[in-house]
Structure 1
């Protein structure tokens, strides 16, 4: 992991402005790679955990690697719960499906995108937004 400006890494500025970013190189299929966030949110949505939250990414995929990139892993039981699928720019759960299949709204490599995941585990779902536009809803048991 590296920190620097968009210019330092030779990637486009965001809305024409140089911005400090975190660069994550290709990690392959390393299921032990990730970032833990100490959010300090009190339990909500019923139960003893944080069940309702929103996470926002400003993300720029350069196209390195192959297959899928995990954006969010909600527990330690698997390799991820939300993936970016490089072949068509879809977002989804792998074995849980990508909704919609070959979406009109895509996360294209080589461009900045704002991805918002609105998670409601009490309802067993999350909603996906790309650049402020609703993408889809997905079940997550």
Structure 2
């Protein structure tokens, strides 16, 4: 048996070291997260307040008793080592929202943030036939009929869009976790991908208009409470619009080509320690061929 740090490794330690090496080698050749990430939240402790990259987000308007403490969700089983992860989540409520101070400076030729991309790994747990808002660019922290409407919806037919941008012809099952990527370049494009597939190539919106970002953007909220109980597994934001091919490379939360484990997220830029191993954990599904011998 090979040695680690001068000590004899047991079988479990040896397999762990081999698999981490395999992931590291795979990661070096399979970068699919472009530069420009200003925020990443993994929610590994069931909390929305710990940022892996960028600023901590905050909860607003949580239903009393829920506390946004959704348990970690295990993917895979311990009997298949390195194919599982405790990818935590926030348990969202009808009255809840996640307030994201994105840290992006005004861009896109205006006085506000006009170029950005938002990624969410999200699934609903009820209200499947209702309207549900994905995000609000402006004042989602104040629930009042006098405030702005949500800015991206799942409608009653499970299509994605708004009246301004148009709606997708494609539909999806909201009860299953999906990787939703919203890519905006006001004046040029408004696109939404679901699990790596371009769902909506919508009508581009004006610079500094409705779809520009205030300093804090709100996820999964609407002024008329068109929201739903659900689980937010991962959130990420970039300071520019990703192309459809870049969004496609981010893949699906449940990837048929990866034994239905999440598509690995491998970063172009160095990730602050000690979270780099946690990020590698997002891609442990790539080790689908590894099995523990009985």
User: What interval of TM-score do these two structures reach, taking the shorter chain for normalisation?
Assistant: 0.7 to 0.9
Question: Residue 134 in 1 paired to residue 198 in 2?
Answer: yes
Please provide the CA RMSD for this pair: 2.5
Paired with 1:4 and 1:133, the residues of 2 have a C-alpha distance of: 29
In structure 2, what is the Cα distance between the partners aligned to 1:20 and 1:122?
36
SS at 1:37's partner residue? strand
Distance (Å, rounded) in 2 between the aligned partners of 1:107 and 1:16:
25
Larger Rg: 1 or 2?
Answer: 2
Q: Which has the higher contact order (CA 8 A, sep 6+)?
A: 2
Q: How does 1:1-141 map to 2 (within 5 A)?
A: 1-6=68-73, 13=75, 17-27=85-95, 34-64=97-127, 67-76=130-139, 77-85=147-155, 87-93=156-162, 95-96=163-164, 98-100=166-168, 103-104=169-170, 106-123=171-188, 125-139=189-203, 140-141=205-206
After TM superposition, what 4+ stretches of structure 1 lie above 3 angstroms from structure 2?
Answer: 13-18, 95-98
Describe the superposition over 1:57-91 as per-residue Cα deviations: whole angstroms up to 9, x where unpaired: 00111223752111111233512110112x32111
> Structure 2: which 5+ residue stretches go unaligned?
1-67, 77-82, 140-146, 207-294
8 A Cα contact 1:90 1:98, kept in partner:
no
More strand by share: 1
- Alpha-carbon distance, 1:108 to partner: 0.7
Aligned length: 125
In the alignment, is the contact (CA less than 8 A) between 1:26 and 1:65 conserved in 2? no
The answer to whether the 8 A contact 2:118-2:182 is kept is yes
TM-superposed CA distance for 1:136, in Å, is 1.3
Contact residue 68 and residue 84 of structure 1 kept, 8 A: yes
